[in-house]
Amino acid sequence: MPSYRAPVEDTLFLLNDVLGFHRHANLAGFSEASRDVVEAVLSEGGKLADEVLAPVNQVGDVEGCTREADGAVRTPKGFKAAYDAYARGGWMGLSVPEEYGGQGLPHTLNTAMQEFASGANLALGMYPGLTQGAMAALLVHGSEAQKTTYLPKMVEGAWTGTMNLTEPHCGTDLGLLKTKAVPNGDGSYALTGTKIFISAGEHDLSENIVHLVIARIEGAPAGTKGISLFVVPKFLVEADGSVGARNGVSCGSIEHKMGIHGNSTCVMNYDGATGWLVGQENRGLAAMFVMMNEARLAVGVQGLGQSEVAYQNAVAYAKDRLQGRALTGAKEPAKAADPIIVHPDVRRTLMGIRAFNESARALMLWTALQSDISHRSEDAKERQTADDLLGLLTPVVKGVLTDRGFANAVEAQQMFGGHGYIEEWGMSQFVRDARIAMIYEGANGIQAMDLIGRKLPKDGGRAMMAFLGEVQAFIEAHEDAAMAPFTGPLQAGLKDLQGATMWLMQNAFAKPDNAGAAATDYMHLLGLVAMGYMWARIAKAAAAKPGDARMEAKLVTGRFYMERTLPETATRLARIKAGADTTMALAAEAF
């Protein structure tokens, strides 16, 4: 049976020694998050992930969810108890303001916990994950009455949340949506339509489900300008806050899918269901974007979570499996063969995943920290810089961490040889579960287009200039010999990123296909450099702790990244500069 150990120590090192988390004590919620508190919170979270969530991961995959004849959905054995433990532990409201029952702690800590939950049990972690996304949208766009009605129950975990965007004929292009909202005359609306692929749309974990649904109010403009957001509870809520009559929303069926079997993916039928507008009429997409941005970061974290758990199990197997002898002579002559971890090609694989995981974790936490600063700082300039970086990095965290997370799960599976293909070892589940993160919350090609089409040119390229400036300033401030193995390659990667950005400025405006054809390579190029920057910062912090074996290992892993992963920037740049000509030359009929 596969195992999982949440990377608590590594997370603490990143927060305390690399990212300067405690320098932000002036921000709301951060003064409560002292070193001791952070350590206690993450240790408890890690324990919950290791001891409660992970043990029901494989059973969730095997058993999946079941829809009863009456439309009720049963989650796998053990999910309810594990979910209850998660809710009882107060994890749902970790960063929700105290006035709604939460703990008001930084979102950065919540993000760390999301990684632990995703690594331990992705399917189960999605139920609270979606609830947190729904709470984020209500917090920003909900009326005070909506906040007080829904948030405390969701913080408790008594009610969960969902996000209802996708319809049978539209996923990426939400402007095509057909779900209709008709005013009831009493401030509420009647919603009618079908939503598909709704995660956690129906289940037995909570007493009520709070659906956030996008729909078009009768007579609203066509396209994205006519989309409104509604809150539609499964059970209507009585004046005293208790659960009342069943609303006109039901689960028509659940999907049989490649992975995340323990999460119910539902077709949701809205048959005149009563809903209430969240935010302004026809401004629903903007409101939903609050939820989507939060969810995009959380999905990026899922990619890292799967990469980490797959790596941990591959390492355990590689130390145990005896095959062949080391090229330099037997390492364990008393045994029939050496463990496969002696082979350079096995090492190459494990080092590649490890080097990704540690810097991806840093990037994820750094991005989450920008989210906290952008929401909590009282300094307008500081808020703006953080918001710029958050916007720029969100598609990178989503797209790169999930593309690589899946690729790493496959590589880790490879370490098991044929056994990796056999279900009982669990590696197949990691691969299957990791795959969805590349698709939902906006397929990764769309993340790349968001980066290149919206985030890059926004405000005259201010965010990218700030990022390039920050990395350059770090390199110039660390020109000593000890840092040269990190800053040298980082400078080369940065030059490729600058070259790609310049090429796009000169070649994409007049010919938009050049931008579209470059988008995915550009997203990965930025991800490679951002993680290279994280490695340089990690190296600086690790070098300050000589004699610590864990830190020595970090310095080696960081050098591996610089030598073997970061040079990929040159290939990405070459592809970008090739332009769109051959990509677009063939007529559709030629395919």
Answer yes or no: are the C-beta atoms of 113 and 107 closer than 8 Å.
no
Decide if residue 257 touches ligand FAD (CB under 6 A): yes
Place of tokens 């939820």: 291
Helix (H) or strand (E) holding 133: helix 122-141
For the beta carbon of residue 46, count every other beta carbon within 10 angstroms: 21
Decide if residue 163 touches ligand FAD (CB under 6 A): yes
Helix axes 344-376, 284-320, angle to 10 degrees: 150
Place of tokens 């829904």: 150
**Region of 54-62, 76-84, 166-174, 388-396 interacting with ligand FAD (CB under 6 A):** 166-174
Q: Pull the structure tokens for residue 63.
A: 């058993």
Taking the CA atoms of residue 541, residue 544, residue 545 and residue 546 in that order, the dihedral angle to the nearest 10 degrees is: 130
Our separate counts of H helices and E strands in the chain read: 18, 11
Helix (H, G, I), strand (E, B) or coil at 31: coil
Closer Cβ to ligand FAD, 200 or 368, answer by number: 200
Q: Which of 27, 42, 368, 436 binds ligand FAD (CB under 6 A)?
A: 436
Helix axes 144-156, 122-141, angle to 10 degrees: 160
Minimum Å distance from CB 454 to ligand FAD?
Answer: 12
Minimum Å distance from CB 198 to ligand FAD?
Answer: 5
Answer yes or no: are the C-beta atoms of 102 and 96 closer than 8 Å.
yes
Minimum Å distance from CB 584 to ligand FAD?
Answer: 13
- Is residue 115 annotated as a catalytic residue, yes or no? no
Q: Which of 449, 518, 529, 542 binds ligand FAD (CB under 6 A)?
A: 449
Torsion angles phi and psi, residue 299, rounded to 5? -70, -40
State the Cα–Cα distance between residues 272 and 297, nearest whole angstrom: 33
**# of chain residues touching ligand FAD (CB under 6 A):** 20
Decide if residue 453 touches ligand FAD (CB under 6 A): no
How open is the CA angle 293-14-356, to the nearest 5 degrees?
70
Q: Which residue is nearest to ligand FAD (CB)?
A: 171
Q: 232 - beta bridge partners?
A: 211
How do 159-164 and 208-217 pair as beta strands?
parallel
Decide if residue 166 touches ligand FAD (CB under 6 A): yes
Q: Which of 58, 95, 164, 359 binds ligand FAD (CB under 6 A)?
A: 164
Q: 79 - beta bridge partners?
A: none
How far is residue 188 from each of residues 104, 192, 285, 402, measured CA to CA in Å? 31, 13, 19, 39
Minimum Å distance from CB 449 to ligand FAD?
Answer: 5
Closer Cβ to ligand FAD, 10 or 441, answer by number: 441
State the Cα–Cα distance between residues 203 and 2, nearest whole angstrom: 26
Closer Cβ to ligand FAD, 15 or 517, answer by number: 517
Torsion sign across C-alpha atoms 165, 166, 169, 170 = positive
Closer Cβ to ligand FAD, 165 or 573, answer by number: 165
Closer Cβ to ligand FAD, 311 or 440, answer by number: 440
Instruction: Kindly name the residue from 441, 479, 552, 589 that is annotated as catalytic.
Output: 441
User: Binding pattern to ligand FAD, positions 28-47, x when CB under 6 A?
Assistant: --------------------
Closer Cβ to ligand FAD, 457 or 499, answer by number: 457
Closer Cβ to ligand FAD, 436 or 463, answer by number: 436
**Region of 236-244, 246-254, 283-291, 437-445 interacting with ligand FAD (CB under 6 A):** 437-445
Decide if residue 440 touches ligand FAD (CB under 6 A): yes
Q: Which of 445, 453, 485, 579 binds ligand FAD (CB under 6 A)?
A: 445
User: Binding pattern to ligand FAD, positions 172-211, x when CB under 6 A?
Assistant: x------------------------xxx------------
Q: Which of 106, 442, 489, 558 binds ligand FAD (CB under 6 A)?
A: 442
Minimum Å distance from CB 377 to ligand FAD?
Answer: 31
Count CA within 13 A, CB hemisphere, residue 258. 10
State the Cα–Cα distance between residues 118 and 450, nearest whole angstrom: 25
How open is the CA angle 477-468-524, to the nearest 5 degrees?
120
**Region of 137-145, 146-154, 344-352, 438-446 interacting with ligand FAD (CB under 6 A):** 438-446
Residue in 130, 276, 285, 283 with CA at minimum distance from that of residue 191: 276
Closer Cβ to ligand FAD, 268 or 490, answer by number: 268
Q: Which of 85, 286, 351, 443 binds ligand FAD (CB under 6 A)?
A: 443
**Region of 42-50, 84-92, 245-253, 433-441 interacting with ligand FAD (CB under 6 A):** 433-441
**Region of 268-276, 367-375, 396-404, 435-443 interacting with ligand FAD (CB under 6 A):** 435-443
Decide if residue 309 touches ligand FAD (CB under 6 A): no
Which residues 6+ apart lie within 8 Å of 313 measured at CB? Answer: 2, 3, 412, 425, 426, 427, 430
Residues that bind ligand FAD (CB under 6 A): 163-166, 171-172, 197-199, 257, 265, 436, 439-443, 445-446, 449
The catalytic site residues sit at 441
